[in-house]
Structure 1
Amino acid sequence: MTIIYWNQEYKDVEEYLKTDIIKGLSNEEAQKRLREYGYNQLKEQNKKSLFLMFLDQFKDFMVLILLAATIISLLLGEVTDAVIMIVVVVLNGILGMLQENRAEKSLEALKKLTSPTARVIRSGRVVDIPTSQLVPGDIVYLEAGNFVPADGRLFEATNLRIDESALTGESVPVDKDIKALKAEELPLGDRINMAYMGTVVAYGRGRMIVTDTGMNTEMGKIAEFIDSQDTAATPLQRRLEELGKYLGVGVLLICFIIFITGILSRRPVFDMFMTAVSLAVAAIPEGLPAIVTITLAIGVQKMIKKKAIIRKLPAVETLGSASVICTDKTGTLTQNRMTVMKLYTNDKVYSDINAIFKSEGSTDNEVKFLLECAALCTDAFIDEDGREIGDPTEVAIVMAAKSAGIRKQDIEEAKPRVDEVPFDSDRKMMTTVHRDEKGYKVITKGAPDNVIDRCTSLYLNGDILPLDDSIKEKIKAVNEEMAKGALRVLAVAYKDLDDIGSHGEFECDLTFIGLIGMIDPPREEVKESVRLCKKAGIKPVMITGDHLVTAVAIGKELGIYKAGDEAVTGVQLNELTDEELDKQVKDISVYARVSPEHKVRIVKAWQNNGAVVAMTGDGVNDAPALKQADIGAAMGMTGTDVAKGAADMILTDDNFATIVSAVQEGRTIYENIRKSIHFLLSCNVGEIVVIFVAVMLGMPMPLKPIHILWINLLTDSFPALALGVEPPAPDVMDKKPRPKGESIFAHGLWWKITLQGILIGLLTLVAFRLGLMKKNLITARTMAFSTLVLTQLFQALNVRAEASLLKIGVFSNRYMTYSIILSAVLMFIVILTPLRTYFGVSVLNATDWGIVFILSLSILIITEVIKYFKKP
């Protein structure tokens, strides 16, 4: 029997689903239901099998031309050429299939890492689990910023409003309630006691009993869900696809000219046709998009290890252009852990907390008394599992007391709390009353000025002395000095009572004990990251809701704020027009007391100045700024689901240093893609030069069609992939950010490709000519084939870096070493095995190999000499 969940009291739903809203499901029952109902996820499109991936490789236009040429070869009786071409095409298909499969697996692993979690009760404990493991009957917590992970019946709703626009199209969040609804048929938008998968908690909090999961949810029924993984092509990939089309037209034109010229020169029609087809296939870098995808995917995997999860592939490319990083302070630049840094008691300021208890004398007693009283006047505590529970400021006090050997549990047992006056914003104080052996002890902590004004005496060296105005002013001066150092300062005072009396008697005639100064300290690694940013031409900007004094102090310590910089508050920001902000934004390093709405203005102002902006955020209201930024970075630990959903990447450790590492990796990936393009296109130009010059000069063909295909479809692929994993250049963070929209061929890359390609072609022709002068045509072709292969392998070493190969290390990229060995082995397999008969090559003697090696090596030597004279 099924029931209509919104029509029932939640107690009836609880009973129907055999669960417990207090204890939740047991772990055993949850596993049983998971097997019964399946995972809480929507069905995805069927993944392509390896066989289909293999077949997809034959959809490429140039491969189809090659297959057509193979068929023509068979019809003309050239069986050997046809068989070899089929083998080469199949091997190329296998390589393409493996590349595509690896890229898909990388993206799938990425998707799993970014899958959201849900907070549930299992076996009486609150735990976070992947949403895919939710089952009917689970008790789920809902908080502002969460995606609702499944369909459920609400049984607790505190100011709960849910944005159901993804499901109903209604843009206004729906106020939720827990009462049963009488109607048996209601539109989704009117079921106010239900929460549905894929909707967003806009405000408040609540709890629900999961009623449906996966394809049984309302979202599953209409098969609409916003996929959190964007696998769209990056701008670079799209530009390269366009480049491929233009190159294709140009190369086909050149091949047509070669074909016609060859025919007019009375060369065999079939030979010229096969040469033109082979050259067209070789010269068009059809493998380039696959290599770019693999390079991006590998880079994404590296970033995961560095605590940055890339959700949207275009972000990898954009990261390399980042020129401004706008970052939160708390938790990103700082440790998100309030820590006691200074104490003032007994007329002395203690700056080194760890050293306090090493000193001798009565000082220890005063400090311990201060920390004991402060710890008693908190609601924070450390639970049995060592977790710190409570307000961060109070947790800092409890931890400082613990470092002094004071366990809160022990002092609370000795001096139990019997009454209290809670903190409020008017008094800015909190007071607790404790029973002790002498009667009752009243302890007050709060804003220094407020507490000091209620004190009439001073605790000094174990005695209670009168507190006159001059001493009060001295204490207030110490407070101001601490505050200037960005410390949050609390004053602590007490008094003893024989009887409790009324609340009005608690906070008067107090005895001042001391001041406690605390701060959320900067992360140790951030200072170096800020220095690295500035060295790389990236401006770090702090945006915080904290006070201006605190923000500036932290900014100075980290190097974000320097002399001449400006720091503004949200109020000041409101007074600026957008045009005024555009003009001033470059001078502002710190923003304090700002709201999430201000962040969007700041990002736009930088973008209006041509900057590529990275922005961090964690709250629901940060989503617009994260979307507006060129790179939105959500916090993995403290970020809401909405913030993560709007972000391009997620920082799993909420650390500023991670953003900088990601920028470095983004720059490296882009440079590696440039290297792969440089290598492939220069090799292609070289092959065109060889054939074009030979045809125009009436020379015999230096290379057979099968030689060209073998080199391009197999030999070149491995070094090109190895360039994609080249380690970061030592100076990668010494350069200014790449301008937005800069061509991949900027900084003279076209010239390098053209000139080095011509050199590769000429060296191959020289080897061929020398072979013709001394030997026969087969030997000459073997020398040309070997020279072309080895020259291209040395060219792969050339493009590894702008610096000398000796400086970066010949073997510093082990994948390049392996790829060169593999490519050389493929060459020797053709020459030294019976395959040479089918390829039309022969075994070379030592002299011939010497000529081949010297000619091939010369491209490396020439390039190294040029690099030497070009160095600064």
Structure 2
Amino acid sequence: MKEFKTAGDYAQVPIKQLYQQFETSAAGLSSHEVQVRLATYGHNTIQRGQRQSQFKLFIKNFTSLMAILLWISGIIALFAGMLELAIAIWAVNLINGVFSFWQEHAAQKATNSLRQMLPAYTQVLRDGQQQQIDAADLVPGDIFTIQAGNSISADAYLISATGLQVDESALTGESVPESKSVIYHPGDGKFAETNIVYAGTTAASGNAQAIALNTGMNTEFGQIAQLTQNQRPNVSPLQKELNHLTQQISLLAISIGVLFFILAIFFVHYPIAKSFIFALGMIVAFIPEGLLPTVTLSLAQGVQRMAKKHALVKDLSSVETLGETTVICSDKTGTLTQNQMTINHIWLPSGDYVVSGQGYVNNGQIMLGQQPYIFGQKHDLDLLLQISVLNNNTTVKAPATVGEQAKILGTPTEAALIILAEKAQLDLSTLQTKLPRQQEFPFDSERKRMTTIQLVNGQPVAYIKGALDGLLAISTTILDNGQVRNLTEQDRRHILAANDHYAAAGLRSLAMAYRELNPQANWTQAAVEQGLTFVGLTIMADPPRLEIYAAVAKCHAANIRIIMVTGDSALTAKSIACKIGITSDQARVVTGTELANMSDADLKAALSSELIFARVAPEQKYRVVTMLQSMGEVVASTGDGVNDAPALKKADIGVAMGMTGTDVAKDAADMILTDDNFASIVAAIEEGRTVYSNIQKFLLYILNSNLPEAAPSVIFLFSRGLIPLPLTVMQILTVDLGTDMLPALGLGAERSEPGIMEQPPRKHNAHLLNRRILWTAFGWYGLIAAVLSTIGYFLVNYANDWPQINLAASGGVYQQATTMTLAVIIFCQIAAALNCRTQYSSLFKIGLFSNRKIIGGIVFEILLLLALMYLPTLQLIFNTAPLHGAEWLYLLAIPLPLLLIEETRKYWLRRPVN
């Protein structure tokens, strides 16, 4: 048996030599030999990368830096003698870990349900008999058959082929099927050998018999999959940022703890043990226990909102990375375009016709002047339509329901021709019966045309369609306005000029011709395909998605650059890119051949300007993504084929197509589009920006309560213990894990702030916790809340004859005073929850009550405060007491002024600078 080689290495090996090398024959392998080879080569399956066990995935959610900080916080609280606090912190960590695991597990299940595997069955010759086997049991040396519509199960060498065209877009990105034959031609680019077919591709038309060369992971499909699996997963920007934030908060909390420890010893003259416990309590108070669950829930809500916008995110932290995206490397076919070839013009010597409607649905018309054209009115156009549908082996099944895709069995080009004829109300079945096919000369890559012989009123007529250059060369007459005349040099120039005009716009042409035959002649291909009468051209393109224009404009407004990286031709790629606004006419097009000869320095320089990549190989797309990342860009890369998988894995965000994507591409991606639509990526980016903004709003919200929580301890220290602590540690915990939690979660569900997609992506070195948040939290919201809560504490004290009484010994008065401090902080937080909803926009513009979760959280805050005040059991645990009328009037007067003051501040921020 052979050693492993790539399939292309066998392209020029004669079939007899190949039989000897693979120890097989035209009768196929024996059953015994199949078992031997299965043991040697394994099953014909694409192995997925090693997956972490569910247990490891579960544990991962409890070992992030923030989770570890919370475990330590609980231990500190336990050593400080605050058992309830320790239990509460650990419970939060457990709940968050379980929730994170459940969210990612649910996303992975949804991903798995979208997977599209290799074909389940294959027809093979074994022991000289045709058999149907599981494709996983195919081995090198097997002889198997290929029919239109079949997925191809292995890299294989063609033994026979009739009209075989193969859709290789999963490997090459090229949307037009490639013609295959037993005669070797090198073709243009990788995977282009005419006598070799590859695993993971699909037979668009025709049939063939082939010998399997490589199976499973030894196929080109498998080799690219292996390249993808060998890459290490990147740590997302959000994971890095949360780690950085944890370090910041830890440093802040420990610094404050040390400061208070020193002050307690040298200023208050506390014993060291008591000072240490006091400092530990301050450290716990400054650690935002609600950060991790709120971030997780914010991401989870973002995942759910994205799912409604057709974007399935596999990992929670990937949500935010989308918002940081600076460059999108986008495939063309099916992402920017509809992946539905459409005829939009017909060119005849007598005139140019516009065809309306897009896709494989009969929802347009052929326009003759200002009127829709109906079959039977004009001989020239009628004949072109007849050739289009009779010289055609494709069938189109109309969608059964609204929103369903039309199904085609055959090639996209032929499907477009059928839809063209239907737009003129041509009855295909009647025409096929009236003009039956007598013979066919299938399309091949050398002739670049297909010929059928139809019986027209008892007269055999050859209908020919194909590439213009080859067809025009064998035409001698032309059909012009219903009359056949000699084809002159001027006619040829006229036809070629028209074709060049459409080609310059990135459109493809397909030429039509016919010839009346002698009924008594021997119809050979060479004899038939000469002396043709040229009829006209059908002009087609894969049209852009209707929503793509707005999506591209949105990216430009958001300073997100789009670079088309496609396997399609340079002319088509540039035409589409210019048409939908990705680039201008000045954009440079770099082909795969040019890219292969570029140094890294040249590529880096090229990437700094407008650029389109066409006819690129998988490793080249990977190289483009890698180079962009080295330039500091955050890259989202799209794709659907196995050829896209390495780039999807390498990118900061890999985006695979859910409808047309291969299993390998989906496995490599971070996000799957269930509608294969570029506009869904833009919607997901907006959602990612919103999630990041909401996390910052949450940070601002929880940090602003730290200053009023710390102020009582400062008062206690600077009074040298004469003024009892205005707030206990359990009351601090009430704010951090009780009253703050639901409004914070409501902020995580806040909709996009107006203008969020008109801002540039955040800088790569920007941090969640920045100067603006720190200043607003501590120098504005926090300072106001600290002053108001301190005033509230002393108001209760003065109302009860302090300083004449000893507060610490007064029992109920002290409890009432600490309850007042707690209540003021909560009412300040009510205003803060509303104020934090926007950074610059007016709250009244987005709607005061538009976020029901925040309103519900505020109601919960008030109910919890009432429970703490009036339920005896909670009074004992949290050291609280009921408040009276005067205190309630003070509390109720807090939120509205704070709201109006903040609206005034935001108004000044929004003012245009002259």
Q: Common fold, TM-score beyond 0.5?
A: yes
Q: Is 1:810 matched up with 2:848?
A: yes
Q: Which residue pairs with 2:55 in the alignment?
A: 45
Partner residue, 2:733: 709
Range with greater deviation from structure 2 (791-800 or 228-237)? 228-237
Residue 129 of structure 2 corresponds to residue 109 of structure 1: no
The answer as to whether partners of 2:396 and 2:408 remain within 8 angstroms in 1 is yes
Where 1:159 maps in the other structure, the secondary structure is strand
Deviation at 1:493, TM superposition (A): 0.5
- Answer whether contact 1:176 1:193 (CA < 8 A) is retained: no
Which of 290, 294, 299 is the equivalent residue of 2:293?
A: 290
Q: For 1:440 and 1:382, locate their aligned partners in 2 and report how far apart those are by CA, in whole Å.
A: 27
Q: How does 1:231-250 map to 2 (within 5 A)?
A: 234-250=239-255
Measure, in 2, the Cα distance between the counterparts of 1:359 and 1:157: 48
Range with bigger deviation, 669-678 or 618-627: 618-627
Match of 1:214 in 2: none
Compute the RMSD of aligned alpha carbons: 4.0
Q: Which amino acid aligns with 2:731?
A: H
Structure 1 equivalent of residue 760 of structure 2: 736
Task: Give unmatched runs, 5+ long, in structure 1.
Answer: 1-7, 16-40, 72-84, 126-135, 145-154, 161-174, 178-191, 206-224
- What letter corresponds to residue 666 of structure 1 in structure 2? G
The question of whether the paired residues in 2 share the 8 Å contact of 1:535 and 1:734 is answered with yes
Q: Is the 1:446–1:492 contact (alpha carbons within 8 Å) kept by the matching residues of 2? A: yes
- Deviation, 1:530, is 0.4
Shift in alpha-carbon separation, 1:844–1:269, aligned structure 2, 3 A: farther
The one of 438, 449, 454 aligned to 1:418: 438
User: What is the DSSP-based 3-state SS (H/G/I as helix, E as strand, rest coil) of the residue aligned with 2:256?
Assistant: helix
CA distance in 2, matches of 1:715, 1:856: 15
1:340 matched to 2:343: yes
Pairs within 5 Å for 1:262-411: 263-264=268-269, 276-345=279-348, 347-353=350-356, 354-356=365-367, 358-359=371-372, 363-382=377-396, 387-411=407-431
Instruction: Assess if the C-alpha contact under 8 Å between 1:278 and 1:706 holds in 2.
Output: no
Pairing 1:847–2:844 present? no
Deviation per residue, 1:437-494 (Å, 9 max, x gap): 3221101111223222322223244443333232332222222222222211111010
Alignment of 1:762 onto 2:762:
no
Code of the aligned partner of 1:518:
M
Partners of 2:91 and 2:53 in 1: CA distance: 29
Could you tell me how far apart the structure 2 residues matched to 1:511 and 1:709 are? Answer: 89
Following superposition, the deviation at residue 515 of structure 1 comes to 0.9
Letter in 2 for 1:851: Y
Q: Structure 1, residues 307-343: CA drift from partner, whole Å, max 9, x if none?
A: 2222344432322221111111111110001001001
CA distance in structure 1 between the partners assigned to 2:848 and 2:474 by the alignment: 74
Q: Give how far 1:273 is off.
A: 7.3
Deviation of the 1:94 alpha carbon: 5.0
In structure 2, relative to structure 1, the CA distance for the partners of 1:747 and 1:348 (3 Å cut) is farther
Give percent identity, aligned residues only.
33
Aligned partners of 2:107 and 2:315 also within 8 Å: no
Q: Distance in 2 between matches of 1:45 and 1:566?
A: 50
Tell me: CA distance 1:506–1:343, structure 2 relative to 1, closer, same or farther (3 Å): same
Is the Cα contact below 8 Å between 1:258 and 1:692 reproduced in 2? no
Matched, 1:871 2:891: no
Equivalent in 494, 501, 525 of residue 547 of structure 2: 525
Q: Give the distance between the partners of 1:508 and 1:718, measured in 2 at CA.
A: 80
Deviation at 1:364, TM superposition (A): 4.6
Task: Say if 2:770 is the partner of 1:771.
Answer: no
Distance 1:94 1:653, change over 3 A: same
**1:533: Cα distance to partner?**
0.2
Determine the C-alpha separation between the residues in 2 that align with 1:423 and 1:310. 43
- Kept in 2, the 8 Å contact 1:263–1:269? The answer is no
Give the Cα separation in 2 of the matches to 1:593 and 1:47.
Answer: 39
Change (3 A) 1:274 1:827: farther
Cα 1:363–1:746 change in 2 (3 A) is: farther
Residue 438 (1) aligns with residue 458 (2): yes
The 1-side partners of 2:53 and 2:837 are apart by 44
Identify the residue that residue 66 of structure 1 maps to in structure 2: 77
- TM-score of the aligned structures, taking structure 1 as reference length: 0.78
Q: Corresponding residue for 2:836?
A: 799
Displacement of 1:870 in angstroms is 1.5
Please state whether the residue corresponding to 2:590 is helix, strand or coil.
strand
Q: Is the 8 A contact 1:542 1:555 kept in 2?
A: yes
Given that 2:70 and 2:93 are in contact with CA atoms closer than 8 Å, whether structure 1 keeps it comes out as no
Structure 1 residues 363 and 300: CA distance shift in structure 2, 3 A: same
Offset of residue 397 of structure 1: 0.8
Amino acid paired to 2:109: K
Equivalent position of 1:202 in the other structure: 220
8 Å Cα contact 1:279/1:708 also seen in 2: no
Cα deviation 1:681-734 (Å, max 9, x = unaligned): 221232112321342134332123332222222222222222222211111111
Contact 1:448-1:490 at 8 Å conserved across structures? yes
Aligned AA (1:668):
T
- Are 1:479 and 2:499 matched, yes or no? yes
CA 1:193–1:472: 2 relative to 1, 3 Å: closer
Secondary structure, counterpart of 1:400 in structure 2: helix
Shift of the 853–667 alpha-carbon distance from structure 1 to 2, 3 Å rule, reads same
Where 1:831 maps in the other structure, the secondary structure is helix
In 2, Cα distance between equivalents of 1:615 and 1:682: 39
Deviation at 1:836, TM superposition (A): 6.5
Which of 823, 828, 851 is the matching residue for 1:786? 823
CA gap of 1:794–1:446, structure 2 versus 1, over 3 A, is same
Higher mean alpha-carbon deviation, 680-689 vs 696-705, is at 696-705
CA distance in 2, matches of 1:236, 1:861: 33
Q: CA deviation at 1:227?
A: 13
Q: Is the CA contact 2:827–2:894 (under 8 Å) kept in the aligned structure 1?
A: no
* Structure 2: gaps of 5 or more residues: 1-27, 36-50, 124-131, 141-151, 158-195, 199-211, 224-228, 357-364, 401-405, 801-812
CA contact (8 A) 1:535 1:733 kept: yes
1:396–1:42 distance in 2 versus 1, CA, 3 Å: same
Once structures 1 and 2 are overlaid, which stretch shifts more, 860-869 or 341-350?
A: 860-869
Residue 651 of structure 2 corresponds to residue 629 of structure 1: yes
How many Å separate the matches in 2 of 1:396 and 1:572? 33
Q: Which residue of structure 2 lines up, in the alignment, with residue 253 of structure 1?
A: 258
Which has the higher mean CA deviation after the structures are superposed, 587-596 or 491-500? 587-596
- For 1:829, the equivalent position in structure 2 comes to 867
**Whole-angstrom distance in 2 between the partners of 1:857 and 1:269:** 44
Q: Secondary structure of the equivalent of 1:351?
A: strand
Find the counterpart in structure 2 of residue 668 from structure 1: 690
CA distance in 1, matches of 2:383, 2:554: 44
Deviation for aligned residue 1:761: 1.5
- 1:727 equivalent among 726, 751, 768: 751
Do the aligned partners of 2:155 and 2:215 also contact (CA within 8 Å) in 1? no
Q: Report the equivalent of 2:205.
A: none
Moved more, 353-362 or 778-787: 353-362
Aligned-residue offset at 1:519: 0.4
- Cα distance change on mapping 1:538 and 1:513 into 2, 3 Å: same
Offset, 1:230: 9.2
**Matches of 1:204 and 1:827, distance apart in 2:** 61
Aligned length: 754
Distance 1:137 1:766, change over 3 A: farther
Q: Could you tell me which residue of structure 2 aligns to residue 497 of structure 1?
A: 517
Alpha-carbon displacement from aligned partner over 1:619-674 (angstroms, at most 9, x marks no partner):
33333323333222222233323333332222232221122122111111111111
| Shift of residue 260, structure 1, vs aligned partner | 3.0
Matching residue of 2:699: 677
Question: CA separation in 2, counterparts of 1:42 and 1:577?
Answer: 38
Instruction: Determine the C-alpha separation between the residues in 2 that align with 1:47 and 1:483.
Output: 53
Which residue is 1:659 aligned to?
681
The 3 A distance-change label for structure 1 pair 157 and 566 is closer
Distance 1:383 1:870, change over 3 A: closer
Q: How does 1:476-625 map to 2 (within 5 A)?
A: 476-499=496-519, 500-501=521-522, 502-625=524-647
Q: Distance in 1 between matches of 2:633 and 2:624?
A: 11
Task: State the match for 2:117 in structure 1.
Answer: 118
